[in-house]
A = this chain, B = another copy of it.
Amino acid sequence: MKPNPCLENIAPGYLFPEIAKRRSAYQQAHPELKVISLGVGNTTEPLFDTIADGLVREAQALATAEGYSGYQDEGSAALRQKISEVFYGGRFSIDEIFISDGAKGDVGRLQLLFGAGTPVAVQDPAYPVYVDGSVLIGAGGPHDGTGYAGIAYLPCTPENKFFPDLAKVAPGSLLYICSPNNPTGYVMTRAQLEALVAFANANGAVIIFDAAYSEFIRDKALPKTIFEIAGADACAIEINSFSKPAGFTGVRLGWTALPFGLKYDGGGSVNKAWSRVTATIFNGASNIAQAGGLAALSEKGLQEIRALTDYYLENAHLIKQALEDRGIRTIGGYDSPYVWAQFPGRTSWDVFDELLTKYNIVTTPGSGFGPAGESFVRFSAFGHHADVREACARLAKG
């Protein structure tokens, strides 16, 4: 049996396992040191009561004749309704909201809607799954050391206000946009989103809009969903997740909003095609996780989401301040749990290694997110306050 040639195209060494390896090797060589991870964006704080109670009650109910439930492929109708109300002002019907086991799984599956022949354009830097998932289904080719063949990398840097040069996007492209951005922490303005939607509608592009960090937005002028923009219903698919706002990285729950208004060339319904894809290769999110998600969208649950995201935002502010105090230029950290720090003239892995060995702080090398991430590192605000304070103190000492 031969390997999938698409799989062989993916560069070895997925970013986060490589970080884990370097961290682990360093810790083993220096067992006496306390290494603090501001690397992977993994939540650290316990669930708040209302949300945890939602999970517990459902787990208990499953042991009763009245409360037992089996397959829920399409997701709980109550949860889909609540998501539409809370995040989209009720504008979507429940058949436009698809419950997932988190954003990553849906990123992988969404590419099946368009297939190997689709031109792909990604913000650069970006969450690696957009590109890796595209290569896996054949929409991208071999890696040449900086990027994959056939994928348009759209640098988003301080120089262009983190807005991609859309002239590089071929008509009919699948265009991945993440805002608040992972890794840069940058949040697109309303005007920028309007320009994106106008471009997509004029050029037959479909925007995969990753809004997994939208609950960290505090600035009321910044849109929390692309569907605040007129015309987005005809060109956008939004992916979101309970992972970061509710602390569900381990519980696994997310959703995708896919409006009826999104059509293929020729008028076919993308929504209907997505129903078919998910019915074929996905069996739904855990009923327990779904009950937790419903609890998280209650009035009290939403207060808990606010408190939890506030907690991580406080970390982000501390990290940003500590870096700026050292004269390091940063982006993000205000409406996002990520701080993107620039180290001109140096490689990201070099900075990563220095931060690990000098300050015993784990970060994520920016180059792991794409060529334009080179010379940056990402600081994640997901951590205990005490650890973040200690990391900042180490940075301050110099």
Chain A residues proximal to chain B, CB less than 8 Å: 1-7, 10, 12, 14, 16-17, 40, 42-49, 52, 55-56, 59-60, 62-65, 67-72, 101-102, 104-105, 107-109, 112-118, 129, 132-133, 136-138, 172, 174, 204-206, 247, 249-252, 264-265, 268, 270, 273, 276-277, 279-289, 292
Contacts and interface: CB of A to CB of B under 8 A. Distances in A.
A105 to B, nearest CB: 6
Given A46-B67, A68-B46, A277 B7 contact: yes
A250 B136 contact: no
A187 B152 CA distance: 51
A23 B320 CA distance: 59
Given A46-B62, A52-B62, A105-B281, A250 B72 contact: yes
B251 A287 contact: yes
A145 B68 CA distance: 39
5 contacts: A1-B206, A7-B113, A102-B283, A105-B283, A108-B280
B69 A60 contact: no
A265 B2 contact: yes
A72 B174 CA distance: 30
B114 A136 contact: no
Contacts of A273: 3-4, 7
Nearest to A138: B116
Contacts of A117: 2, 5
Nearest to A17: B279
Contact of A55 (B46, B69, B71, B288): B288
Contact of A104 (B52, B249, B282, B286): B282
B65 A46 contact: yes
A39 B144 CA distance: 51
A113 B277 CA distance: 19
Given A46-B63, A68-B44, A289-B288, A281 B104 contact: yes
Given A108-B281, A250-B69, A286-B252, A1 B62 contact: no
